[in-house]
Amino acid sequence: MFGERYFATRQRLIDVVAGVQSLGDECATETSELEAEGSSFQSLLNPFLWIVCGEVNSGKSTLLNALFGQSICPVSDIPDTKTVQHYHVGPVEKNVGDGPDLEHRFRRLDLLRDFHLVDTPGTNKLSDGQLTVIEGFLPVADVLLFVFPVENPWGAATWQLISRLPESQLENAVFVLQQCDLKDEADIEVILGHIRTLAEQKLGFLPVVYPVSGKMAMEAKHSETGSSHLWRKSGFPPLESHISRRILSNPARQEILRESVRATESVLRRIEEQIDTRTSNLDSDERFLRELENELDARREGVARDLSGGLTGLGDVFLNEGKKAAIDLSAHMAIPQSIISLFKEETIPSTIEKSLIEAVKKAVEQRATNDGGDLVQSCRTHWETVVPRLRENLDVNAPDFEKDTESLAGASNRFVERLGVAARHAVGHLRIRSALDMQMENRRIILRQFMIGVLCSLIFAGVSGGLGWSWWPWIGVGIGFLTLLAAAGYAATSRKFVCRDFIERLEDLRQPFANSLTDDYKDGVREFYVEYGGLFEIVRRRIVDQKLLLKPRLERWNNLFLELKAIDQEI
């Protein structure tokens, strides 16, 4: 696999960080900076992004498959890549559209944990939207594979895309002459010379161009007996060596490694300081701190139980508002409104969705307001039990809850606002409107057919009456009347069916809706306790001082520190 040395070093660092976090948790030392969003360690886990560009049928997908030895991208003689395709790892294989020009493809392949792949349509067939999507990926790409087919490596579209790249992005570019099994060596040398000349004219330098055959490489990798000759003939060994060197020497990744080492060392230093402090104060405060730890553990468990109940309640809020929306939907689908809707644009699904979003948002905000008040009262009640013990055991002046927790009001408002916005987005992402749109459109089509039948019957009655046919007008009128009755019956029946299906769908979406608010609900509750934790600063310091770091923990600290230094020297 590419960059094995880099990934081995990274894994060693990940193991050290995991050990530091575990040790930090035991020592009550803050280690969140190592895993905070945007931290160097989190960036370290970011997969490498590969982008492959080239003209239609240049062998882009074949090249990616051959590089990784697996059939990741579909290959066809007929141009099949209609969108920019971004390959991720996922528990379920699925394709998710992100607008008309980008498609996320999730595959259960371990290699996609470390490598994200972007397969693109032919550069000579790119739409403006697809080009915009590709340009959005380019600045963060680690490897840019520009593929030139051996039959026509001078395609203007690909060279135009390359010439637009800034110098910083060109450093990550790899030029590949694909399908070289179709030409002999003499022709390939001539083609390579032309490509280098063209590159010098457009880019101002002579790039290394790797002539390869993805087809031969794939055959060599999948050969049961192995074929070293075929593998060498495919041209892949120097290409893979070049890419591995790029991964290993990537300046940004190397800097992230160094920053992660520095951040981890900083945390280790803090842990060391805590070890010394805790050891010196153990005898005097150990009993009190153990009692407080047990109390805090029990409190955390209580908050966890309340959190689960709160999330279930949010699902009920969604369903209750959905049932109200179903009543509005039924009113909008009455027979007069259904007839009127045949002669204008259908707006019922969008109207119902908008009203549901606003209703759910308000209901969730009201629920969040109540929960916020309960959290404030819970913190106040707990603080009243802590103050006497602080004074007795630590001999300190306890902060005043009402004066020193004014920020809790702001946390409550932010909690309400956060859940309101999250509820709006959550309902929108459930795609309620799309299913309702389809049902309403099918209903309208059938009602139109009924109306056409009524009109045709009346026209027939009028024409036959004008011609003086005695009974035929009455027959036409009768058929029209019966058709109208059938239309009314269908309208009433379909109305009940659509409303019932709407409610059933909302019942199915109740838990997904609640689950989608989990992170925001947790973050909101966490913010309350962060604000309330300001009152525990003295208690927290005492807890940090009292937790015992015994000799085994100190030995673990030494081992982690030595391993970290070894990684630092290797980098």
What's the pLDDT tens digit per position in 39-52? Answer: 777 777 888 999 99
pLDDT at 545: 47
Backbone angles phi, psi at 399, to 5 degrees: -60, 150
What's the pLDDT tens digit per position in 531-568? Answer: 776 666 555 555 444 545 457 888 888 899 899 988 88
pLDDT band at 88 (very low <50, low <70, confident <90, very high): very high
CA 228 vs CA 177, 183, 216, 220: distances in Å: 21, 21, 11, 7
More confident residue, 55 or 533: 55
Question: How is the chain split into domains, by residue range?
Answer: 48-248, 281-546
227/285 Cα distance (integer angstroms):
70
pLDDT at 145: 92
Q: Could you tell me how many helices (H) and strands (E) the chain has, helices first?
A: 21, 8
User: How many C-alpha atoms does 533 have within 13 Å on its Cβ side?
Assistant: 10
pLDDT at 210: 92
pLDDT at 404: 63
pLDDT at 316: 79
Backbone angles phi, psi at 74, to 5 degrees: -65, 140
More confident residue, 570 or 64: 64
SS3 349: helix
pLDDT band at 133 (very low <50, low <70, confident <90, very high): very high
pLDDT above 80 for 392: no
More confident residue, 551 or 24: 24
- Residue 47: DSSP 8-state: P
244/5 Cα distance (integer angstroms):
9
Query: What is the CA angle 58-66-226, rounded to 5?
Result: 135
Q: 404, 354 in Cβ contact below 8 A? A: no
Q: 179, 150 in Cβ contact below 8 A? A: yes
pLDDT at 118: 93
User: Closest Cα to residue 10, out of 260, 262, 263, 264?
Assistant: 260
In whole numbers, what is the pLDDT of the chain averaged over residues?
80
More confident residue, 313 or 184: 184
What's the pLDDT tens digit per position in 195-251? Answer: 888 888 888 888 889 999 988 988 888 876 657 888 889 989 999 888 888 888 888
Within 229-268, strands assigned E span none
pLDDT above 70 for 292: no
206/210 Cα distance (integer angstroms):
13
What's the pLDDT tens digit per position in 474-516? Answer: 887 888 788 888 878 887 788 888 788 878 888 888 888 878 8
Burial code (b: 16+ CB inside 10 Å, e: under 16) for 270-298 equals: ebbebbebbeebbeebeebbeebeeebee
80/256 Cα distance (integer angstroms):
38
Q: 393, 546 in Cβ contact below 8 A? A: no
* Pairing of β 94-97 and β 102-107: antiparallel
User: How many C-alpha atoms does 317 have within 13 Å on its Cβ side?
Assistant: 26
- Just give the CATH number of 48-248: 3.40.50.300
Mean pLDDT (whole number) for 64-82: 81
* Pairing of β 173-178 and β 84-89: unpaired
What's the pLDDT tens digit per position in 138-153? Answer: 888 889 999 999 888 8
pLDDT at 331: 79
Mean pLDDT (whole number) for 285-313: 60
What is the percent of the chain where pLDDT is above 70?
84
What's the pLDDT tens digit per position in 321-352? Answer: 878 887 887 777 777 776 666 666 667 777 77
